[in-house]
Structure 1
Amino acid sequence: MSVILACKGCGATKPGPTGDPTDLFPSEHCGDCLPWTCETCGKNCSAAALCSCWVRLDTLPFADIKALFARDGTFSVDPQA
C-alpha cells in the first residue's frame, strides 16, 4: 500500500506519515487551503472555521456520536454485522 500525502484542494504535502487518515487517502481540503465555498450551503468554509453543514465529532461524547449516526438507521456498532 502506498502512502498518499497530497491535499486535493491545494496540493500541499506532508513530509511523512503522521498516523491520521490522510496518510492513506488524500484530504479534500487542509489547513493550508484558502477558504472555499461549501457545495451544500454555499457559505465560506475553511479547515479553521467550518460552515454549519459540518458536525465536529472529536468533541462529542461517544454516546452522542452513536446517536447521531443511528438516526438514519444504518449505523451498526457490531463489527460482525
Structure 2
Amino acid sequence: MTDLLCCKGCGTTKPGPTGDPTDLFPSEHCGDCPPWRCDGCEQMCSMAAPCDCWLRLDAIPLADVKALFAQDGTFNITPISEEER
C-alpha cells in the first residue's frame, strides 16, 4: 500500500487512513511544518503560533461558531463584531 500524503506543506505522510479529513484531502500545513509566511497578512505563521489574521474557533462559544458558518451559506468566515453578538 502507498503512504497517504497528509500535508502539502512539509510532505508528511501516513501509512493508511486514520479517519480524519487528511484521508481525503491533504492539509496545507500541519504541526510538523516549519514556520511559513501567511498568504493573507505576510506574517510568519505556524500551527503552534498562528499569525494575527487567523480566527481561533476554539475560543468562541459553539453558537457563535455556528453563526459564523451560517452567515452567508459559504465558508467565508468573518469575525462577528461585538454589535452582532
TM over 0.5: yes
Residue in 1 that maps onto 2:51? 51
User: What's the C-alpha RMSD, in Å, of the aligned pairs?
Assistant: 2.1
When the two structures are aligned, how many residues end up with a matched partner? 72
**What TM-score do the two structures reach when normalised by structure 1?**
0.71
Equivalent residues in 2 for 1:9-24 (5 A)?
A: 9-24=9-24
**What TM-score do the two structures reach when normalised by structure 2?**
0.68
Listed one character per residue, the Cα deviations across residues 12-60 of structure 1 (whole Å, up to 9, x for unaligned) are 1123322211111101111111100001101011111111221122443
Equivalent residues in 2 for 1:70-81 (5 A)?
A: 70-71=70-71, 73-74=72-73
Q: Which has the higher strand share?
A: 2
Any gaps of 5 or more consecutive residues in structure 2? 75-85
Whether the 8 Å contact between 2:4 and 2:14 is mirrored in structure 1 is no
- Percent identical pairs in the alignment equals 68
Any gaps of 5 or more consecutive residues in structure 1? 76-81
